[in-house]
Amino acid sequence: MQVLVTGGAGFIGSNFLNLSVPRYRDRRFVNVDHLGYAANLANVAETAKSPNYAFVRVDITDADAVDRLFHDHPPDLVVHFAAESHVDRSIVGPRAFVRTNIEGTFNLLEACRKYWPKGRGLFHHVSTDEVYGSLGESGAFTEATPYDPSSPYSASKAASDHLVRAYARTYGLATKITNCSNNYGPYQFPEKLIPLTILNAIDRKPLPVYGKGLNVRDWLYVEDHCEAIWAVIDHGGPGRTYNVGGNNEVRNIDVVRQICRLLAEETGQREDDLLALISYVTDRPGHDLRYAIDATRLKAECRWTPQETFETGLRRTVRWYLSNKAWVDEVRSGDYRKWIATNYADRTQP
């Protein structure tokens, strides 16, 4: 069996490969990535030594290249992670999101339609809970919640979900979709809240909190997300969608405070000195207030339960960033500095 993993040099894709390649030695994994700013082949350095692993550099917005990829490495399973993934970048420059997340997904679906005779193959689409928009103070997203995306990122992911379902209904393509809440863990590019806060705190730089820090996200450790994807591939119903979440709803300000406490415990610094770095800055436009996930369907049909609590997963994450300085130094050079300058320059303290 050949498994094509798109975006396998990014955060979640590389964790997925690191878990899967050693476990499924009878399957061949092909990591497909264009090596954009969030990608790093160092994320899969150990896995790359395995004989059942290969890397192919492809930009999924290039239809001909995707077609060649399917010709040269005919897959039985596609696990589609590749995306522009950061909400703030989608506000600054939405075009890349439309191209990769919508057109790129379309190109992959077209290749599946062309190369897979009826009854062959499975396209697993990795998506986000952000397609559902914002919740108020109560309630949780179910798979029946209407789509109501707020950012160019979530709108592009919503469009890609619709395309995947349309290919299932129209062409009979075998598809599954998972809509997951916020991930955290090793190898996450430090533009997202958790790694940005950890690294800024290590360097004693300001910890930017948007608005009043009262927005709520549901946090899931990345390995629990990867296990959920396998649970759905192995046990999920054809054409079905599954919400994935950790039952860990936390306000942003409390995420940042918890990181300060864990970092103080891990390094012996004074927690108060780290808390003093918290800096409230101008809010994100269209900022969704709250996400929460009802994962009943996934637990009932696919026998999945997360292994990490927020406390244990966050401690593992803090330790990982503390002990991987070479990785951190590499990803924070060049383009990263430009992004930080762009995103935070105009965020004055209210």
Q: Is 5 in the site for ligand NAD (CB under 6 A)?
A: no
Q: Rounded CA gap, 18 and 236, in Å?
A: 22
> 217 pairs with which residues across the strands?
250
Annotated active-site residue in 153, 187, 221, 321: 153
Q: Does the annotation mark 64 as catalytic?
A: no
Task: State in angstroms the smallest separation of the CB of 145 from ligand NAD.
Answer: 15
Element spanning 282, H or E: none
CB-based contact 157:81 (threshold 8 Å): no
Closest among 55, 57, 44 to 18, alpha carbons compared: 44
Q: Rounded CA gap, 187 and 223, in Å?
A: 12
Q: Which of 19, 27, 36, 205 binds ligand NAD (CB under 6 A)?
A: 36
Cβ atoms within 10 Å, residue 107: 22
Q: Does the annotation mark 153 as catalytic?
A: yes
Annotated active-site residue in 33, 84, 103, 130: 130
How many residues sit in the footprint of ligand NAD (CB under 6 A)? 30
Q: Does the annotation mark 129 as catalytic?
A: yes
The residue length of the chain stands at 350
CB-based contact 53:21 (threshold 8 Å): yes
Binding site for ligand TYD (CB under 6 A): 87, 182, 192-193, 196, 208-210, 215, 217, 252, 284
Q: Which residue is closest to ligand NAD by CB? A: 10
Task: Give residues 144-183 in contact with ligand NAD (rule: CB under 6 A).
Answer: 157, 180, 182-183
CA 241 distance to own-chain centroid = 17
- In the sheet that holds 182-184, the strands lie side by side as 182-184, 216-221, 249-251
Cβ nearer to ligand NAD, comparing 181 with 258:
181
Cβ nearer to ligand TYD, comparing 90 with 107:
90
Element spanning 258, H or E: helix 252-267
- List, in sequence order, every beta strand (DSSP E) within the chain: 2-6, 28-33, 53-57, 77-80, 122-128, 175-180, 182-184, 207-210, 216-221, 241-244, 249-251, 278-281
Q: Which of 3, 11, 141, 226 binds ligand NAD (CB under 6 A)?
A: 11
Task: State in angstroms the smallest separation of the CB of 12 from ligand TYD.
Answer: 12
Task: Provide the Cα torsion 268, 271, 276, 277; round to 10°.
Answer: 50
Q: Is 39 in the site for ligand NAD (CB under 6 A)?
A: yes
Task: State in angstroms the smallest separation of the CB of 3 from ligand TYD.
Answer: 26
Q: Is 208 in the site for ligand NAD (CB under 6 A)?
A: no
Q: Rounded CA gap, 191 and 336, in Å?
A: 8
Cβ nearer to ligand TYD, comparing 223 with 249:
249
Q: Is 313 in the site for ligand NAD (CB under 6 A)?
A: no
The HSE-up count of residue 172 (CA atoms within 13 Å, CB side) is: 6
Q: Is 90 in the site for ligand NAD (CB under 6 A)?
A: no
Q: Is 81 in the site for ligand NAD (CB under 6 A)?
A: yes
Cβ nearer to ligand NAD, comparing 100 with 258:
100
Task: State in angstroms the smallest separation of the CB of 25 from ligand NAD.
Answer: 24
Cβ nearer to ligand NAD, comparing 102 with 260:
102
Binding segment for ligand NAD (CB under 6 A), chosen from 126-134, 229-237, 296-304, 329-337, is: 126-134
> 126 pairs with which residues across the strands?
178
Catalytic residues, by residue number, are 129-130, 153
Binding site for ligand NAD (CB under 6 A): 7, 9-13, 33-36, 38-39, 59-61, 81-85, 100, 104, 126-128, 157, 180, 182-183, 189
